[in-house]
Amino acid sequence: MDESRTPSDDPIAAQPTGEHTPNATSLPDEDSEQEHLFAFLGRIQAEAERREQINWMQTAQEVSELATTQGQPFRAATLIALLQSCNEATSARLGLMDEKLIRLYLRRDSLR
């Protein structure tokens, strides 16, 4: 390291480690993450209130945020990857996200 630079000038040392980000420790490993995702999707048909909430959503990020607030965290990227593997668009028009997610849930065994 250059003698004139302080440790705080080091761009690598200055990068966040994830220790202080809100969800750094709340995300499960990949297998658990899929389990959380499918458990969350499985509740859509059973819970009318949840289905209504999802119908107001248009993106995987919004769905991921809702799941996290309800104790079943998964990354939006995980949902997007599953949607793409099913040849589903990664976003939905207002009122159609629930149907898209139910179709994904019904294919869960072939996606694992």
pLDDT at 27: 53
Which pLDDT band, with edges at 50, 70 and 90, does 58 fall under?
very high
Q: Which helix (H) or strand (E) holds 31?
A: helix 30-46
Rounded CA separation 67/75 (Å): 9
Give the pLDDT of residue 28: 58
pLDDT digits (tens, 9 = 90+) for 7-56: 444 444 444 443 333 344 455 577 789 999 999 999 988 899 999 999 99
pLDDT score recorded for residue 111? 87
**50-63: average pLDDT:** 95
Report domain extents, the chain. 28-111
Quote the pLDDT of residue 79: 96
- pLDDT tens profile 64-97: 999 999 999 999 999 999 999 999 999 999 999 9
Phi/psi region, residue 6 (left: phi>0; alpha: psi -120 to 50; beta: rest), is beta
* φ, ψ at 22 (rounded to 5°): -60, -40
Q: How many CB atoms lie within 10 A of CB 72?
A: 19
Whether 40 contacts 85, CB under 8 Å:
no
- Global pTM exceeds 0.75: no
